[in-house]
Structure 1
Amino acid sequence: MRHVVKEKSLEDEEEESLNRQRLTSARREALSLYRDILRATRFFMWPDSRGVLWRDVLRENARREFEEARFEKDPEAVTRLLIGGRDAVESALEKLAEKQRHQIQKERGDGR
């Protein structure tokens, strides 16, 4: 029985290298997003209805979502997840800032 060994063409090697670069870039972006989530959760220091700090709830959910997406290979899906994650962090921080502004206005007596 003969074994056929397919030699990689230069084009295949370039494609493989490009895919590795994309993966490395996406991995870096995912780690950056995860760190940003952890930093952002520091501001959520009040308990939920069960008495658990929102900070801990948010961190647990982020960890679970990252673990679920850990082996995703589709570049489009990875990009969608990263963009969605960034949007969620920004939105949560904007809402928190807005609530704090309203609270400050209310305490000053000029609550609009």
Structure 2
Amino acid sequence: MTSIVAKCRTFAIPLRDQLQRTTLPRLLHNGPDTVEELLERHVVKKEKSLDDDENELITRQRLTSTRREALSLYRDIIRATRFFLWADSRGVLWRDILRENARKEFEEARLEKDPEIITRLLIGGRDAVQAALDKLVEKQKQQLEQEQRDSTRR
């Protein structure tokens, strides 16, 4: 690119001097005065820079980290469902229902590209798992206390 500009500059300078000597009227378009200005305005200067590489690397790392977080969340959900061993009114274990719903939600969000939405989904999933486990622990504590009260009454 710089060699082209240098060649054009060596060609344009004598041409400009010759035009100035002939006293031609200046055109009204207010265009570029030199070939270099013309090239600067109209030639696309998209060169691969380190910034582009860095942006690509950051994007790739962000995608990798969200994938890791999503897989980690999914594993945590599967682990948490181990504690839901009772059946619903149809006789299906809650563990299986929760796993099926988690799988369905992850499949629906699989092709999501917006990082903000992905982050919201991950945070919401983490909060839901934590809330479910907290409620489970609270209910188990209540059951243990109830059993202890019943055993002391006998």
Q: Same fold (TM over 0.5)?
A: yes
Question: Shift in Å at residue 50 of structure 1?
Answer: 1.1
Amino acid at match of 2:79: R
Matched, 1:74 2:114: yes
Match of 1:30 among 66, 70, 78: 70
Residue 123 of structure 2 corresponds to 83
- 1:55-111 CA-to-partner distances (Å, cap 9, x unmatched) read 00000000000001111111111110110000000000000000000001111117x
- Which residue number in structure 2 is paired with residue 48 of structure 1? 88
Aligned-residue CA RMSD in angstroms? 1.5
Instruction: State the TM-score, normalizing by the size of structure 1.
Output: 0.88
Partner residue of 2:38?
none
Relative contact order, higher structure (CA 8 A, sep 6+)? 1
* Cross-structure match for 1:97: 137
- Which structure's CA Rg is the greater one? 2
What percent identity do the matched residue pairs reach?
A: 75
Runs (4+) of structure 1 moved beyond 6 Å? none
* Aligned residue in 1 for 2:50: 10
Partner residue in 2 for 1:106: 146
> Match for residue 61 of structure 2?
21
